Amino acid sequence: MSMLRRRDFNRLAAVSAGAGAATLAAPALVRAQGSKLKVGVLLPRSGALAFIGQSCQRGADISPPLLKEMYGVDVELMNADIESNVDVARSRAEKLIDEGAQLLMGAFDSGPTAAIAQVAEQRKVPLVVNIAAAPQITEQGFKFTFRNFPSAGELIRNGLALTRDVFQATNTAPRSAVFMHVNDTFGTSMAKGIAAILPTLTYLPFKVVETISYDREARDLSVEVAKAKATNADFILLVSRLNDAVLLVRELVKQRWSPQAILSPGSPGMYEAQFYKALGNKYSDYCISNVPWYNPNAALTKRVDAQFHKQFPQEKLMFHALNVGFTFEAMMIAADAYKRAGSTNGQALADALRQTQITEHVMIGGPITFDAKGQNTRIASACIQNRNGQPMVVLPKEAAQIAPVYPVPGWQQRA
């Protein structure tokens, strides 16, 4: 599977390199469209996931001018803050549809996304998922939900394959890990997947000696870190969010425990802009995240980057790569379907979404397509290591910007 993912990446990079100059020189063909597509954008712009929700929102905000150039489609954003809350997400989805939203997009967090999917099914309004990994989102037979993001199982398989690659690239073989995870819908799904998949992967040299869960909104992880430290595990296998990832690192430094690495097999948090701002280079550096990532060499990525810089000149796309990339792609999928359907009717849009075949995109992997469940199964992952205060691709080798470091320097050995 790791090799298949790499071949997908190589093919994408080759196509992007060949088409880059032409794509940047002139916009895609424009066709007149009679009416606007009204997209209900549902994201957690406040609450526990506020920073990430705001990052995703930027991906939606840059979309209308790009989609006008690419498809000749006018997109109207109908923005709603789901407040990092399942019940709020459900009610806001219903309200947006009542106010005229013809398609829904969101919602980063798996719990609220699952609730929105139920509303979309009941109201027969398509939902395009930008980011959310819980398997049940596309395992309940919904006909109006389409996810352009890996399920938890795919994230885990890709992430653990890259974990093996890190050890091979650094000639190391750690024997033990302590698994720490947030206990929300996403974290629980990932924990179940790791418990099922990890024992079958004989190519990995380590065993999980302890599993420790914690609340997403915890304000103190001293007990959990002390328990993890007592295992004397070689490294931490982590499934986190942003705020708890910051808390975890601060507590590790406080308790003077320097594991060989903090490595995520596929979760947010450690590559986010706020992670670097909160911890500084010294303590944010060397964390490893095996996640779906953007292809910086793709022609479309360069167009997205240019528009991002135009609208948010104080920000850098690399610090929002996953959030902006997948949110923009969700909007692009919606515009593409609308153009082909020639209608804002929910059933017509869903039928068009089912026939999606987009070869030019931002995120690493094969063409954007959906299987019978509404799942894109062609998304690959990259190994991202924080270096010098920014996320850097270290694997696969053909996409690497810098070589991976493992074991990482201890807290007191860093400049």
Which parts of 109-247 are beta strand (E)?
A: 127-129, 145-147, 176-182, 207-214, 235-239
Strand order in the sheet with 75-81: 75-81, 37-43, 103-106, 127-129, 145-147
Confidence class for position 264, pLDDT limits 50, 70, 90: very high
Task: Name the residue with higher pLDDT: 415 or 233.
Answer: 233
Across 203-226, average pLDDT: 96
Cα–Cα dist 198/293, whole Å: 23
Residue 41 token pair: 């954008």
pLDDT, average across residues 213-238? 96
Q: What is the predicted pLDDT for the residue at 3?
A: 39
What does the pLDDT read at residue 22? 38
Question: What integer is the mean pLDDT of 276-288?
Answer: 97
pLDDT score recorded for residue 342: 95
Asked if residues 55 and 45 have their Cβ atoms less than 8 Å apart, the reply is: no
Reply yes or no on whether the pLDDT at 175 is more than 60: yes
d(CA 225, CA 212): 9
Count helices and strands in the chain by DSSP H and E runs: 13, 12
310 by Cβ neighbours in 10 Å (0-12 / 13-18 / 19+) ranks as: exposed
Q: Give the model's pLDDT for residue 5.
A: 44
b/e per residue 164-180 (b: at least 16 CB within 10 A): ebbbebeebebebbbbb
Interatomic CA distance for residues 80 and 82, integer angstroms:
6
Torsional sign, CA 179, 242, 392, 19: positive
| Token pair 């929002």 in the structure block, residue | 320
What pLDDT does residue 415 have? 79
Closest CA to 182 of 123, 133, 239, 231: 239
So what's the pLDDT on residue 13? 44
What the chain holds in terms of domains, given with CATH numbers, is 2-149+295-354 (3.40.50.2300), 153-291+382-413 (3.40.50.2300)
CA pair distance 401, 163, nearest whole angstrom: 17
If you average pLDDT over residues 198-210, what whole number do you get?
96
When comparing pLDDT for 105 and 26, which is higher? Answer: 105
Tokens 């050890």 locate to 167
Question: Strand 288-291's sheet: what is its strand order?
Answer: 207-214, 176-182, 235-239, 262-264, 288-291, 382-387, 390-395
pLDDT at 400 over 80: yes
- The mean pLDDT of 220-243, rounded to a whole number, is 97
- Return phi, psi of residue 55, to 5°: -65, -45
Average pLDDT on 226-236 reads: 98
Please tell me the predicted confidence (pLDDT) of residue 217: 87
> Could you read off the pLDDT of 1-42 as tens digits, one per residue?
343 344 444 444 444 444 444 333 333 333 334 479 999 999
What average pLDDT does the segment 257-276 reach? 95
pLDDT at 73: 96
Question: Does the pLDDT value for residue 47 go beyond 70?
Answer: yes
Q: Give tens-digit pLDDT for 75-97.
A: 999 999 999 999 999 999 999 99
- In this prediction, residues 46-55 reach a mean pLDDT of 94
Helix (H, G, I), strand (E, B) or coil at 10: helix
Share of the chain above pLDDT 70, in %: 92
